[in-house]
């Protein structure tokens, strides 16, 4: 499959994520949108990695060129998992205190 | 013996330190004992020095090097000679009597202020002694500034009254103007001769060009104008009446105003070599004498009359200096110190008895209440008016005779001034002591003679005022009877050598001059007494010339209009425009700008998470755009710049 399809899919996913983050006020949805953006980037990384690796395999069967992208994805997933746990904990605490998950309630420190 | 000269200024300095530091813990009697005692000790040492000088001649005592730099040095040295020993006796002697008098006069003050008063007084005497004793112009300048400072402190002694503070500031600033002239003269001397010691300067005076000498002497005279209250810097002295009355006596009689006379008498060779300056000195002295005498004719404050009479008498002294009668000027300083101190202390006694009433129109008839004050005051009036054989007659006559030898016009104007002196002094005397009492009943009930600490100095000074003149009996009466001239001759020998023998008028002519002036003065006294004996208190405004005289020729108003107000306007301009809107505007503007910027930036932090995210995303977009298009942006920038 041509690489363009992957890029369009990723752009679409990332844009959905951005629009979601910007427009929604529910903290959980915002959170999911952030995850969506992360995964869009992950998908792109994997796609490019596969592309470069495939090209390099043609000249040398044991090459490791282009494999870094896939390794990078694992790192992102680990970090994202940690981030999710922290973020969800914050949201739970927020709900306990305000009985709401609206991010616009999170401006109490302002005054 | 002259090695002990350092004790003379040391005693008052110690008194100043003890009274100044211990003013809160010492008792009043202790303070007055220390304050007066140190001056008495100085007086005793001065007396011993006087006889030592008389027997062994002059000497210079170097204590230590004051300034020592490559090429020149200024030693901290004391000049013990005929002139300084005479002044030492006047300063410490009259000064002691004033201290004694003050101990009673100031007794109503709180102990702390009483101590402050005596500390200032001692510092004043110390500064004056330093001025007189210094063996070079720099040491003299230290004392010169010191008396200026002390006069400021003492005139503003009652600092809660703002008018008094204003008078103190006026005295200080006027003096500073004169001091600048003095300082410039000293620098000029240093520049031309490389030394400021009297001995070296007077020995090398022939090395100076006539322009240099004239400039230096004129600048020195500017200093003397400030300190000795001559036109145009005289207006501070009458305002100096704001201080306590003994302070006025000290400033007017023993210290401060005689500094200018002393300085010129000390530098007599320089002045003799500069005839142009001498003419300036004589003319200014004579004009001051006349101007101040006319003002004194119409003053109603007992101390103001005396103040203007001091200015007038100082004018006579400068006339004497200007015509080369240095001995006469010093003689008049001495007799004036006696009778002017007596007049001020007598006035203080009157003011004390009248519960701080100073307007002579509200006095009268005090003769029977204050007998000692009355008699001594009368003697002082006779002395200052110049009735023989009181002291003022001899000294004033000596100056006027010398003035006649120089220019008969000086003599005629001078005698005119002397007539006015007689008139205003006896106007003052008559209004105060003769006629009916014009004050309130309460004041009349409380009238009393002053305690002995106040009357004793009056009696001593009265004796000196009466007999002080016999130190300088003129040559027409007895050959070589002028003991003061004989004593001071080494000081003025250099000048006499240049001018030659004074041209004395013939003996018969001198007798006629004396007789005529004495008769005229006696007539003036008669007129004054008869005119004011039946004085009734009226509050009508004076008109015509009297009004102008009462307002002191409007000189203060003139100075205000020409100098003070423009200066205030400039200061106001600097304060309001340059300071407030210029410098403050700049500094505050920077602060305001930062504050404004912060207030605007603060709006970004709205607390809305959505806004933060939007900004974050926009920033990321911009960042990506710039990152991938840096070449295009650089090209664009290069094109437009």
Kindly report the nearest CA distance between residue B603 and chain A, in angstroms.
Answer: 11
Best of B606, B608, B618, B624 to substitute, by most chain A Cβ atoms within 10 angstroms, is B608
pTM for this one? 0.78
> Rounded to 5 degrees, what angle do the CA atoms A4, A39, A46 make?
50
- Alpha carbons B360 and B387: distance in angstroms, whole number: 24
Kindly report the nearest CA distance between residue B623 and chain A, in angstroms.
Answer: 16
| Minimal-distance CA residue of chain A relative to B606 | A110
| Minimal-distance CA residue of chain B relative to A14 | B617
Q: A103 and B609 in contact by Cβ < 8 A?
A: yes
Shortest CB distance from A110 goes to which of B607, B610, B614?
Answer: B607
Best of A94, A107, A109, A111 to substitute, by most chain B Cβ atoms within 10 angstroms, is A107
Q: B274 in helix, strand or coil?
A: coil
A-B C-beta contacts closer than 8 Å: 24
A103 — contact with chain B (CB < 8 Å)? yes
pLDDT tens digits for B29-56? 889 899 999 999 999 999 999 998 888 8
Q: B607 and A109 in contact by Cβ < 8 A?
A: yes
| Minimal-distance CA residue of chain A relative to B604 | A110
Q: What is the pLDDT of residue B539?
A: 65
Shortest CB distance from B608 goes to which of A18, A21, A104?
Answer: A104
Question: B291-329 burial, b for 16+ CB within 10 Å, e for fewer?
Answer: bbbbbbbbbeebbbbbbbbbbbbbbbbbbbbbbbbbbbb
Kindly report the nearest CA distance between residue A38 and chain B, in angstroms.
Answer: 14
DSSP letter string, B184-203: HHHHHHHHHHS--BHHHHHH
**Terminal-residue alpha carbon distance, chain B:** 91
Cis peptide before B389 (omega within 30 of 0): yes
Q: What is the pLDDT of residue B619?
A: 92
Kindly report the nearest CA distance between residue B641 and chain A, in angstroms.
Answer: 37
Q: B429 in helix, strand or coil?
A: helix
CA atoms B89, B95, B98, B99: torsion sign: negative
Q: Which one-letter DSSP state was computed for residue B604? A: T
Q: Find out whether A67 and A53 touch, Cβ atoms under 8 Å.
A: yes
- Alpha carbons A20 and B592: distance in angstroms, whole number: 41
A21 — contact with chain B (CB < 8 Å)? yes
Residue B204: burial class (beta carbons within 10 Å; 0-12, 13-18, 19+): middle
- Location of structure tokens 């001593």: B460
Q: Find out whether B330 and B83 touch, Cβ atoms under 8 Å.
A: yes
CA atoms B560, B566, B572, B575: torsion sign: negative
Q: What is the pLDDT of residue A109?
A: 59
What is the crossing angle of helices A27-57 and A3-23, to 10°?
160
Structure-block tokens of residue B95: 């000064």
Kindly report the nearest CA distance between residue A72 and chain B, in angstroms.
Answer: 21
Where are the extended beta strands (E) located within A1-111? none
Q: Which run of H or E residues covers position B400? A: helix B391-406
pLDDT tens digits for B405-438? 888 899 999 999 999 999 999 999 998 888 888 8
Residue A43 in this model has a pLDDT that exceeds 80:
yes
Q: Find out whether B399 and B328 touch, Cβ atoms under 8 Å.
A: yes
Q: What is the pLDDT of residue B505?
A: 67
Task: Summarize the confidence of residues A82-89 as an average pLDDT.
Answer: 93
Domain A3-102 CATH assignment equals 1.10.287.3510: yes
Q: What is the pLDDT of residue A108?
A: 64
Residue B544: burial class (beta carbons within 10 Å; 0-12, 13-18, 19+): exposed
> Band of the pLDDT at A110, cuts 50, 70, 90?
low
A18 — contact with chain B (CB < 8 Å)? yes
Shortest CB distance from A104 goes to which of B609, B614, B617?
Answer: B609
Residue A55 in this model has a pLDDT that exceeds 70:
yes
Low-confidence spans in chain B with pLDDT less than 50: none
- Location of structure tokens 């009996």: B473
Shortest CB distance from B610 goes to which of A103, A109, A110?
Answer: A103
Q: Find out whether B25 and B38 touch, Cβ atoms under 8 Å.
A: no
Give the contacts of B205 (CB within 8 A, at least 6 positions apart).
Answer: B213, B269, B270, B273
Kindly report the nearest CA distance between residue B594 and chain A, in angstroms.
Answer: 21
Q: What is the pLDDT of residue B444?
A: 77
Kindly report the nearest CA distance between residue B607 and chain A, in angstroms.
Answer: 5
pLDDT tens digits for B63-80? 888 888 877 788 898 988
| Minimal-distance CA residue of chain B relative to A110 | B607
Residues of A in contact with B610 (CB under 8 A): 22, 25, 103-104
| Minimal-distance CA residue of chain A relative to B611 | A22
| Structural domain boundaries in chain A | 3-102
Q: B606 and A110 in contact by Cβ < 8 A?
A: yes
Max distance between CA atoms of chain A, in angstroms, equals 64
């Amino acid at each position: 499959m041509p690489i363009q399809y992957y890029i369009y899919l990723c752009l679409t996913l990332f844009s959905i994520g951005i629009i979601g983050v910007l427009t929604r006020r529910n903290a959980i949805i915002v959170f999911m949108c952030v995850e969506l953006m992360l995964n869009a980037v992950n998908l792109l990384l994997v796609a490019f990695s596969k592309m470069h690796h495939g090209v390099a395999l043609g000249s040398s069967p044991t090459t490791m060129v282009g494999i870094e992208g896939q390794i990078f994805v694992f790192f992102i997933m680990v970090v994202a998992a940690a981030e999710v746990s922290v973020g969800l904990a914050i949201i739970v605490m927020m709900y306990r205190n305000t009985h709401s998950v609206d991010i616009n309630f999170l401006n109490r420190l302002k005054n | 013996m002259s090695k002990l000269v350092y004790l003379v200024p040391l005693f008052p300095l110690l008194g100043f330190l003890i009274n100044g530091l211990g003013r809160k813990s010492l008792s009043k009697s202790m303070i007055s004992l220390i304050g007066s005692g140190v001056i008495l000790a100085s007086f005793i040492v001065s007396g011993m020095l006087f006889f030592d000088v008389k027997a062994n001649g002059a000497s210079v005592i170097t204590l230590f090097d004051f300034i020592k730099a490559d090429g020149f040095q200024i030693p901290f040295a004391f000049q013990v000679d005929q002139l300084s020993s005479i002044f030492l006796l006047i300063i410490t002697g009259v000064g002691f009597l004033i201290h004694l008098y003050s101990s009673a006069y100031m007794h109503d003050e709180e102990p702390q202020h009483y101590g402050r008063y005596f500390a200032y007084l001692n510092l004043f005497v110390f500064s004056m002694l330093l001025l007189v004793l210094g063996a070079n112009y720099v040491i003299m300048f230290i004392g010169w500034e010191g008396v200026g400072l002390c006069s400021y402190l003492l005139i503003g002694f009652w600092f809660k009254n703002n008018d008094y503070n204003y008078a103190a500031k006026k005295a200080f600033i006027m003096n500073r103007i004169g001091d600048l002239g003095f300082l410039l003269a000293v620098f000029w001397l240093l520049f031309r001769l490389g030394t400021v010691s009297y001995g070296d300067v007077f020995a090398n005076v022939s090395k100076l060009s006539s322009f240099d000498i004239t400039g230096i002497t004129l600048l020195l005279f500017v200093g003397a104008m400030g300190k000795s209250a001559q036109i145009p810097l005289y207006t501070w002295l009458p305002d100096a009446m704001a201080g306590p009355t003994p302070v006025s006596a000290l400033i007017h009689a023993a210290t401060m105003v005689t500094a200018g006379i002393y300085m010129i008498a000390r530098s007599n060779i320089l002045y003799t070599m500069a005839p142009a300056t001498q003419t300036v000195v004589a003319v200014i002295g004579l004009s001051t004498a006349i101007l101040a005498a006319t003002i004194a004719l119409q003053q109603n404050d007992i101390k103001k009359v005396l103040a203007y009479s001091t200015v007038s008498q100082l004018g006579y002294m400068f006339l004497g200096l200007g015509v080369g009668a240095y001995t006469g000027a010093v003689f008049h300083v001495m007799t004036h110190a006696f009778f002017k101190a007596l007049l001020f202390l007598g006035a203080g006694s009157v003011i004390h008895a009248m519960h701080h009433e100073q307007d002579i129109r509200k006095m009268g008839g005090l003769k029977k209440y204050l007998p000692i004050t009355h008699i001594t005051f009368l003697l002082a009036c006779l002395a200052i008016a110049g009735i023989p054989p009181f002291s003022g007659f001899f000294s004033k006559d000596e100056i006027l005779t010398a003035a006649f030898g120089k220019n008969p016009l000086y003599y005629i104007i001078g005698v005119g001034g002397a007539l006015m002196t007689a008139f205003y002094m006896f106007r003052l005397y008559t209004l105060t002591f003769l006629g009916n009492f014009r004050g309130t009943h309460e004041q009349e009930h409380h009238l009393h003679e002053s305690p002995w600490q106040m009357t004793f100095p009056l009696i001593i000074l009265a004796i000196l005022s009466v007999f002080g003149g016999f130190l300088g009996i003129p040559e027409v009466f007895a050959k070589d009877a002028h003991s003061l001239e004989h004593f001071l001759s080494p000081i003025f020998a250099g000048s006499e050598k240049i001018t030659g023998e004074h041209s004395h008028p013939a003996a018969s002519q001198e007798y006629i001059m004396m007789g005529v002036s004495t008769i005229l003065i006696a007539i003036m006294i008669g007129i004054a007494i008869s005119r004011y004996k039946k004085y009734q208190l009226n509050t009508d405004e004076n008109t015509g010339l009297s009004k102008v005289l009462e307002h002191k020729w409007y000189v203060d108003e003139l100075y205000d209009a020409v100098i003070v107000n423009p200066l205030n306007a400039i200061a106001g301009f600097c304060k309001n425009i340059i300071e407030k809107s210029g410098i403050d505007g700049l500094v505050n503007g920077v602060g305001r700008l930062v504050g404004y910027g912060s207030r605007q930036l603060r709006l970004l932090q709205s607390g809305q998470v959505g806004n933060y995210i939007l900004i974050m995303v926009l920033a990321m977009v911009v960042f990506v755009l710039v990152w991938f298009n840096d070449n295009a942006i650089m090209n664009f920038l290069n094109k437009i710049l």
